[in-house]
Structures are given as C-alpha cells and as structure tokens.
Amino acid sequence: MSASQSFDAMTPGVPGATISIAAQSGALSNSIALCLRKYGIGLSQCVPVGDEPFELLDAFEHLIEDEAAGIIGLVVENIADGTRLRALAARACEAGKPVIALKLGRSQAGAELIRADSSSARACEALFSECAIALAPCVESFAGAAALLLRGQDMLMSGDTGLVCVAISRAGGALLADHAEDRGVPLAGEDGLWRGKAAKTIAGFEGAGPIRNPIDGGNLKGWSRLAPLLESIEAEGQSGPVLLYADMLPGEADDLLVADILLARMQRTGAPLVVLGPGGMRPSVDAHYRANGALVFDDLPTCFDAFAAFYDSVEFDADDLVDPPDERSSIGPQALDRIREILASVDPGDFLAEYESAQALALAGAPMAQSALATSPDEAAAAALAFLGSVAMKALAPGVAHKNEAGLVALDLRDEASVREAYSDLSRRLLALGGGRIVLQQMAPSRAELILGVTHDPALGHFLTLGLGGLHAQLLDSVVLIPLFVSRARLAQIVEGSMAGELVARACGGAAHQRLADIVKALVALRDLVRVCGDEIVSVEINPLLVAPTRCTAVDALIVRA
C-alpha cells in the first residue's frame, strides 16, 4: 500500500480535521482538499493507492484502525471484493466512523477512461447503499457531505432530524422544497406543516402570513419572530439541521440579525447550519457565518447532493450490517438434491429451458405457474381441460432463450380446437428449428407485471433484481439491485419503496400488503437458492411475475448455469 500523505502543508491556516481519505485517484485529492478548505476543514491524511482495488480495501482498513480518522472518504474506481468491503463497513460502523464514497466511472465513457466496468457501477452503488457508505456524485458534494457529518455527527439522533428550511423569499423557499423532494431529503414537520407548540407560536404572530416548512421569512412580519419559532420547533423534538436560502435583505443589520438567530440555534442543538447563497452575500455577513461554524454553499445541486449523502449516513440502521440476523435457507435436503440434479442436466455456461428452470425455482419456493408437457395434440387437449380456464402454450427449442421473439408462444387458448391448432402450429415451428418440446400453462390474472431475478458481478458477487416486467423491462430503467446479505425485513423495505412496489400498491388496493409480502417471499426464495447453489448459478430471470389482487404467479423463468 502506498504511504499515507498529510495534506496539512497544502492547506495552510486550516484547523486540524478528522476526515481521512483513501483514493484510487490521487489526482482528485488536491481538488477535494481545496473544496474542504472552503468549509474550514483540512485532511487528516490521504492514502493514494492508484488503481489497485485490493489496495483500496487495505487503505480502508488502515483508516478504520487509525484513531485520527473520524470520518472516512473513499474515491473508488473498482472494488475487488464485495464480501471484504461489507466486513470493513461493519467495522467502521462499530467504530463510529461514517464513510462517504465518490464512485468514478458510472457511465460507459467514464468507465473506459479508468479501465473499469460500467456494468459494475450499479452493483457497487447498491452494495454501498446497504453497507452504510453514503454516495456523493462529485468532488464538491463529497466535500460538502464530509463537512456536514463533521458538524453533525454528535447531534442528538433520537429526535426528529428532518431539515428545517428558512428562506428570505417565497421563491427561495420553493426552490428548497423542490430540491429536497428531488433528492429525498426529509423536511421537518408534517407535510410541510408545523404542529404542536410551533403551531401555537405561529398563531400568536399577529399579522403573519402562512408559515410552513420552508419558512418564508417575509410572512413572519418581523425577523425577530424567527427566534421563538425555532425554539418552539425544538421543543417539539425537531432538532435537525437548518438550511437558509440567503437572498440579501435590504439592510446589513437585518442580515446579521438572521445570522445570529440561526447561529444561536446551531449552538443550542449541535445540528449543522447551512447557508445557501447562490447570488452571494454581503462580504461581512458571509465572513460572520463562516467564522462561527456555519457551512456556506454556492449552488443548490451541490448543497442538496451533500445533504442527501448526509442523511443516508445518519439515518442508516447498521444493526443488520454489524449483527446480521440468522436467516437460514428454507430449502430442505431433498429439494436441494433435486435442484442440483436439474442444474446438472445442462452444461456449465448453458441455460436451463423454461420447464426445468421453473421446476428448480418452485422447489426453492418461488410461486411458479403450474405447467405440463405435451407430446401430442391429445395430451395437449387433456392438459388444457385439467387446467380449466384459458391456457398458454409454449414451444421450448434448444438454444432459444426468448420464446416470444421467436414466435413460439400462443396465449389465451380457450377451447379444444384452439389448443389443437396451436399445438400443430408450434410443432411445425419446432421442426424447422431442429425439434424441441411443448409445454402448457394455466393463464394467470394480472394487474401488474414485474421482473425478479439474480445477477452476478465477478468481483461483488450475486445480487437480487427487482423491477417492472414485460415490455416495461426495456422501456423503463426501473430495476434495482439488492445484495444477498440484506435481511428479510430490509428486503421488505426495499420492495415497498421501489417503483415495482408502488405499482403493486396502486394496482392491488386493499390486497397490496399481502401481495408485497408475496414478492418478498419470492425474492427470499431466490436468495436462498443462490446461497446454497451460488457456485452453480450465474443468473436467474423471472419475467414476468404476474401480480393480481388474489395472488402472484411467475409464468416464465430462465436459469443460466455458472
């Protein structure tokens, strides 16, 4: 590992700091140091490791053990070992050291410049998200998030830590609210309204206009009212950071009055005070804020990207990471033997046909639709009669993974004549492709179509996948990646908060809770399968999983052997 470098000499006059950085790009360290300097922060040390991913993890471990490193920053091109990263992240949590990462090479062009794999970027970000490692998209927000954590890591986290916004103008307040929603930054209060003691205080402001969060200072009808309002908000247990959108007031005295009220609140609560001045402030006011520990940002996107990383860090529940629950596979020995027998029926690197994939997934606990093979029109007609209702018929041809595109699927067959006709048509198509098999499947109701599965990154391991299915799988980039180690409870949170979960909630009404639980159960089945057979599986795809108010049914599946 390269020797650590101190940046104190490069930032003269800056007080000692407790942020240390391990960087696969040493050149960015200078930029980071200069950005930190704007917030009155230097670097305790920087460990440049070049582009070697193993050395980055060595440096990460070194900084966890270094007592001087209170906050750890990572500048990442590649991660070599997802399992080790998770273990180190757990140690950082136990040591009380927040971690922030700047991931390089998220685009194809960016990845080519640093000789990384852009397809791994999403997996890397998903891993960071579940390892309490906050992500910042640029050098400026990386430094800003570090500064926020340095100011706010000792704040009382048991209260409401939502952001309290103050704006000189109504327009500034609207911008704060818009950017907070865009970045998922939580605002204090309930739906923008102040309740309890804060509401009583507002009711006593004679002549005041509507006062919400963000607080429109013009509606206060006197800036001196800001002090009791903030005190009543704190009395309700809402002691999170304060963000001021700082348009210049008519006189310097008013600017300094607002500054002193906000700085006094920062001293009381220990929560960060951030001043956002896109157009600049009076030099004396700017200097007053900086000299007394406020963080001054120049633009909205950087400010809110920094806040997003800050909240990702302070709100992360590290219990499962530090002490993961014992959730063993529910696949029994006999089912596991049969699954391995099915996997061994194809060569390594090949894929299992839908029928065998569905068999293996059903044994693991996935909600697969009932299917039957047919070798003649009579067998097809008998199987369709046994299923009741309409059926689907599919032709399984060797080497053809996507049947729809090859014209090998017939849907909504409702009578014996249509079943026999479809069987004859698909048999001719199979003959032209060199043979194959025909399978029948009962049609399932659907209000939503999802895609579930497993993907594999060579360095980071297996991930669960969840997104919108059917045609939406290509049209909308909705797929989320989920590390295998997440607990069932955390998996439920991810499903509920995803685009797929929102679709199910809207499509299934009062039954949405049970259907979301079914989706979690299906993902757990995939997780358990990979935990016991991961060396034999490179990917799994269930597309679509049909979701109706009454049930979830997987009607197509594909397993690729490792």
Question: Rounded distance, CA 176 to CA 270, Å?
Answer: 22
Q: Which fold has domain 8-152?
A: Rossmann fold (3.40.50)
CATH number belonging to domain 370-443? 3.30.1490.20
Question: Rounded distance, CA 185 to CA 508, Å?
Answer: 29
| Site of tokens 């039954």 | 511
Angle at the Cα of 166 from the Cα atoms of 174 and 208, rounded to 5 degrees: 90
Alpha helices by DSSP H, listed for 41-156, are 53-65, 82-94, 108-113, 119-129, 139-152
Same fold: 164-312 with 448-561? no
Ordered by start, the domain boundaries in the chain are 8-152, 164-312, 370-443, 448-561
Q: Which fold has domain 164-312?
A: Rossmann fold (3.40.50)
Question: Rounded distance, CA 263 to CA 242, Å?
Answer: 10
> Can you give the pLDDT at residue 388?
80
Token digits for 313? 């860090």
> Can you give the pLDDT at residue 194?
92
Phi-psi region of 407 (alpha: psi -120 to 50; beta: other; left: phi over 0): left
Nearest to 559, CA basis, from 362, 327, 337, 427: 362
Q: Which residues, in sequence order, are CB contacts of 188 under 8 Å at separation 6+?
A: 160, 162, 163, 164, 213, 233, 238, 240
Looking at residue 8, the DSSP 8-state letter turns out to be G
Token digits for 16? 């000692």
Question: Rounded distance, CA 560 to CA 562, Å?
Answer: 7
Looking at residue 247, the DSSP 8-state letter turns out to be P
Nearest to 4, CA basis, from 54, 44, 34, 33: 44
Which CATH superfamily, name and number, covers 448-561? ATP-grasp fold, B domain (3.30.470.20)
Asked whether the beta carbons of 306 and 144 are under 8 A apart, the reply is yes
> Can you give the pLDDT at residue 337?
96
Question: Rounded distance, CA 42 to CA 32, Å?
Answer: 9
165 to 45, 134, 203, 404, 523: CA distances (angstroms): 34, 22, 19, 53, 39
> Can you give the pLDDT at residue 16?
46
Token digits for 91? 């140690």
Q: Which residues, in sequence order, are CB contacts of 120 under 8 Å at separation 6+?
A: 78, 79, 457, 459, 460
Phi then psi for residue 48, to 5 deg, are: -80, 130
Question: Rounded distance, CA 13 to CA 457, Å?
Answer: 45
> Can you give the pLDDT at residue 117?
58
Before 283, cis peptide (omega within 30)?
A: no
pTM of the complete model? 0.87
Per-residue pLDDT of the chain (562 residues; tens, 9 = 90+): 344 444 443 333 334 447 899 998 777 888 888 888 888 887 888 888 876 666 899 999 999 998 888 899 999 988 989 999 999 999 999 998 999 999 998 777 766 665 665 568 889 999 999 999 999 999 999 999 999 998 886 654 555 689 999 999 999 999 999 999 999 999 999 888 899 999 999 999 999 999 999 999 999 999 999 999 999 999 988 889 999 999 888 889 999 999 999 999 999 988 999 999 998 899 999 999 999 999 999 999 999 999 999 999 988 888 889 888 888 888 999 999 999 999 999 999 899 999 999 999 999 999 999 999 999 999 999 999 998 889 999 999 988 888 888 889 999 999 999 999 999 999 999 999 988 999 999 999 899 999 999 999 988 999 999 999 866 666 667 889 999 999 999 999 999 999 999 999 999 999 999 999 999 999 999 999 999 998 999 999 999 999 999 999 999 999 999 9
502 to 211, 312, 512, 516, 530: CA distances (angstroms): 31, 21, 9, 10, 27
> Can you give the pLDDT at residue 155?
58
> Can you give the pLDDT at residue 74?
95
What distance, in Å, lies between the first and last C-alpha atoms of the chain?
A: 33
Phi-psi region of 373 (alpha: psi -120 to 50; beta: other; left: phi over 0): beta
